Amino acid sequence: MTIEWRYTMEQDLGVLSVAGYLGGDAVHRFTGAVGWTLARGTGPVVVDCAGLHGWSAEGQLALADAARELAAHDRPLHLAAIPADGSLVPVGDHPPIEVHCDLTAALAALAALAVNPGADASAEGGQEWRTSGWPAVQ
């Protein structure tokens, strides 16, 4: 099983929404999505996990790798709506990863930090890219 993803550029940040199961089979696709965010956006990246059914240890390590890669470009990683078990394998060598209960809370927290000044936490973003399997209407 793999994942589907959608990347939306908001004002001064990116939202990478993922759906499916982030396991070993999906790590390559997730890594490609992170590369896509690096090539097309600026500012923090919120990985919206609301559509994830779960993740494996390999998937969690891919998140830690993404945090390192994004930090190398001065782009912090935030997680929103992590899978129900709430577990996140601490690797210890990745930058801090902020975890938020949902996407609205993540956007509000970033706006409060003035990372995204004047942004409406509920506003839809500007440009969007997605895998062919991502539903056109959410």
C-beta atoms surrounding 50 within 10 Å: 14
**What is residue 116's predicted lDDT score, i.e. its pLDDT?**
43
C-beta atoms surrounding 39 within 10 Å: 7
Q: Which of 65, 126, 135 is nearest to 93 (CA)?
A: 65
C-beta atoms surrounding 125 within 10 Å: 17
User: Residues 5-14: pLDDT tens digits?
Assistant: 999 987 789 9
Q: What are phi and psi of 65, to 5 degrees?
A: -65, -40
- As a whole-number percent, the residues of the chain with pLDDT over 90 amount to 59
Class of CATH domain 3-123: alpha beta
User: Residues 6-53: pLDDT tens digits?
Assistant: 999 877 899 999 999 999 999 999 999 999 999 988 899 999 999 999
79/91 Cα distance (integer angstroms): 16
Domain ranges of the chain: 3-123
**What is residue 19's predicted lDDT score, i.e. its pLDDT?**
95
* Mean pLDDT of the residues in the chain: 84
